[in-house]
């Protein structure tokens, strides 16, 4: 393995200690409710309008969005919905006789309420609105609240509002940042308290979700967007370069990495990336320049097996493979948020409209979790029932194991059943030796 370009920073380099600030805001809003949330909206977003978006404003938003964009939003929603429906179908109730007389099972129960966050700020994150609300809707969630940062005197972006509405949000709030997360978590403005919070956001939003985790479920702990490309000699260097640049424009601290098994390809991509960045609009160019200069890497691997080992070590959020024998890569790569096989697809497709969810694990979390899916909004719960005869074996084993562990009360719950169901029978219920 050889580094042709090494990152000067990692995702952890620029993390700021925002916990105290976020905790203070959460505490204030929980104590003060709607009025304090409104105050933070005024102070942090300069917004002093209605928080709850009315049906009339929802309808008006549709008139502010071009028909072609509305068609695109519906196209993306339908793709996300279709894929989510297949995921939902894979989550099944189970009933099984474990031993004679003991029947156990599991049920898939949607949570009662969720909160979906759609980022605002520099970009109108229509896709995040689609990904979160549509997936929760397919899961069967009882109430879906959603929020997005408002502009002073205007409210949230009309396209984001249209997307939240058309995807099925029950209540939409003109709130961003920590105050938006708090409103959904604490059940403000007429919303039931969210049992799961989902959606990407800045470091303050991410920290709010982290603090609230446990009290509520969250999709994942999210960091800056990251992307990796694996390419061999057959890859098109211009496509590889643009796929790296396209993800680097997310933000100044969005890492992008190339693992190449061909030196000529790697060197050509290194030459092309700055040229591609130079073609971007100013803000995007600034983000991509810093991301590439400070976080970008090019790694030369001696073989595809070594490329897999390196990639699995990084466990990147997005992973593209532009190489021969795509089925081999699919079978051997294991750590990634979402995998894009072949030059005919790209991370941007997944980000915007192709169907699989774009809310994905970052900062190595793909070592142990995947991205947002319908399963995040569904509880898999278990149940059991037994015949009296089944107690003969189960009760004895339970009593002996309980006494071995020093839990006499547990053992007695088995003893009392054995005595009732099998009077006169003698069982050895002492601790196993």
Active site (catalytic) residues = 317-318
Q: Which of 241, 249, 230 is nearest to 316 (CA)?
A: 230
Q: Concatenate the DSSP letters of all residues of 348-380 into one string.
A: HHHHHTSSS------TTGGGT-----GGGGEEE
Residues 6+ apart with CB under 8 A from 109: 378, 379, 381
Contact assessment for residue 264 and residue 232, using Cβ atoms and an 8 Å cutoff: no
Q: Are 29 and 186 in contact (CB under 8 A)?
A: yes
Token pair 């209605």 in the structure block, residue: 50
Looking at the DSSP bridge assignments, the partners of residue 338 are: 318
**DSSP code at position 117:** E
For the sheet containing 227-231, what is the strand order?
2-5, 297-300, 256-260, 227-231, 318-322, 338-341
Q: Is 92 exposed, middle or buried (0-12, 13-18, 19+ CB in 10 A)?
A: exposed
């Amino acid at each position: 393995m050889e580094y042709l370009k090494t990152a000067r920073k990692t995702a952890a380099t620029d993390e700021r200690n925002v916990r105290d600030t976020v905790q203070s805001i959460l505490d204030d809003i929980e104590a003060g409710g709607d009025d304090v949330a409104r105050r933070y909206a005024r102070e942090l977003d300069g917004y002093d309008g209605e928080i709850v978006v009315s049906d009339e404003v929802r309808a008006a938003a549709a008139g502010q969005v071009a028909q072609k964009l509305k068609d695109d939003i519906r196209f993306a929603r339908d793709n996300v919905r279709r894929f989510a429906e297949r995921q939902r179908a894979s989550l099944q109730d189970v009933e099984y006789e474990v031993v004679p007389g003991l029947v156990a099972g599991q049920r898939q129960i949607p949570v009662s309420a969720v909160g979906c966050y759609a980022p605002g700020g520099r970009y109108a994150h229509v896709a995040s609105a689609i990904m979160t609300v549509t997936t929760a809707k397919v899961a069967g969630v009882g109430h879906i609240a959603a929020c997005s940062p408002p502009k002073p005197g205007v409210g949230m972006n009309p396209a984001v509002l249209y997307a939240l509405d058309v995807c099925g949000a029950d209540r939409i709030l003109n709130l961003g940042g920590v105050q938006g997360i708090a409103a959904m978590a604490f059940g403000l403005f007429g919303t039931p308290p969210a049992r799961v919070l989902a959606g990407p956001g800045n470091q303050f939003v991410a920290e709010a979700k982290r603090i609230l985790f446990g009290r509520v479920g969250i999709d994942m702990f999210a960091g800056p967007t990251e992307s990796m490309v694996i390419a061999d000699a057959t890859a098109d260097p211009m496509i590889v370069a643009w796929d790296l640049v396209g993800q680097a424009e997310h933000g100044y601290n969005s890492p992008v990495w190339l693992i190449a098994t061909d030196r000529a390809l790697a060197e050509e991509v290194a030459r092309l990336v700055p040229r591609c960045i130079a073609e971007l609009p100013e803000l995007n160019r600034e983000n991509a320049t810093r991301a590439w200069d400070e976080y970008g890497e090019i790694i030369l691997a001696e073989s595809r097996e070594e490329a897999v080992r390196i990639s699995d070590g990084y466990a990147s959020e997005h992973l593209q493979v532009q190489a021969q024998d795509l089925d081999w890569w699919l079978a051997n790569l294991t750590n990634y948020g979402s995998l894009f096989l072949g030059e005919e697809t790209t991370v941007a497709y997944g980000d915007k409209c192709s169907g699989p969810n774009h809310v994905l694990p970052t900062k190595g979390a793909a070592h142990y979790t995947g991205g947002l899916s319908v399963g995040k909004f569904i509880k898999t719960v278990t149940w059991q029932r037994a015949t009296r005869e089944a107690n003969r074996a189960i009760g004895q084993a339970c009593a002996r194991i309980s006494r071995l562990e020093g839990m006499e009360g547990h053992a007695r719950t088995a003893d009392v059943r054995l005595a009732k169901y099998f009077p006169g029978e003698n069982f050895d219920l002492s601790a196993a030796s």
